[in-house]
Amino acid sequence: MKGLLEVPEAKAVRLVETGRLTVAQRLHYKDGRETADLDLLATEEPLEIHLGGIPIAVVMRTPGNDAELALGFVLGEGIVESANQIERISHCSEGEHGDNVISLIPRRGFEFSPRAVQRDSYLTSSCGVCGKRSIEQIFAACPAIIDRQIFARETLLCVPEKLRAKQEAFAHCGALHGVGLMDTRGALLCVREDIGRHNAVDKVVGWGAKNDISLGRCALVVSGRCSFEIVQKALMARISCVVSVGGVSSLAADLATKGGITLVGFAGDDRLSYYSVPEASA
């Protein structure tokens, strides 16, 4: 992972200006040294797709090539049979979220049933479900967490090794995500695997609820990257610390900050990067 200052300036500026990357502050801990600097996160924002003036879905994506994404979506979902059925694709020119709303205008004679194609929930960057359709409601799932659990750095540094050791199926196929619930001593209370990271999160949260575990005293540990839906699921479960073996998205960091969640990325190899609420850990 390269920090902002290590990326060639011209390239970094171009990627930030086009919206593909977002500049974020972090508290970086590596080899016993702590530094506050800037980092580049993969941008994650919602894109609301309209067909014939009717909102049919919201997908979480990295901005760029939105018209291709929208067209590919309606083709892949079987909503249209051919690109020739679409006359024009353009972003909405009005409103605060105009860049995140795209409209497909069908050619005359094309008919579809709005009820048949509308989605009742968001489609996220990893195909999970994470909320209601309106963009304005994306951060309104529940109030911020005030009573946060503190996790020692030494505990978080051991996360990747412990999680990988518990991923039994991954060891054989390499194609499953792992998610765990960890207590303040660093013990993994539960680890679940799934082809979808969001499904694995649901599994461990469900296990915790079924076994009357105080989720607010646990950390959610995820393999790979951490995107919006993971933080939202943690917020809904009132889990105040999310630790990712990989990087984090811009929207994940934003929601974690708003939601009072300590968000840690790139855990392991004697390093941690805090992207929100760094004072919650020591």
Positions annotated as catalytic residues are 127
DSSP strands (E only) in 141-282: 177-182, 188-194, 219-222, 241-244, 262-268, 271-276
CB burial class (10 A; 0-12, 13-18, 19+) of residue 15?
middle
Give the Å distances, CA to CA, from 225 to 154, 182, 230, 243, 247.
21, 18, 9, 10, 5
- Specify the 3-state DSSP secondary structure of 217: helix
Antiparallel, parallel or unpaired: β 101-106 and 45-51: parallel
Q: What angle do CA 128, 132, 138 make, to 5 degrees?
A: 90
Residue with tokens 């969001």: 198
CA distances from 10 to 6, 25, 26, 217, 231 (A): 12, 20, 22, 44, 32
Local structure of residue 248 (DSSP, 8 states) = B
**10 Å Cβ neighbour count for 41?**
21
Which tokens go with 110? 């094309």
Report how far residue 240's alpha carbon sits from residue 190's, in angstroms, rounded to the nearest whole number: 17
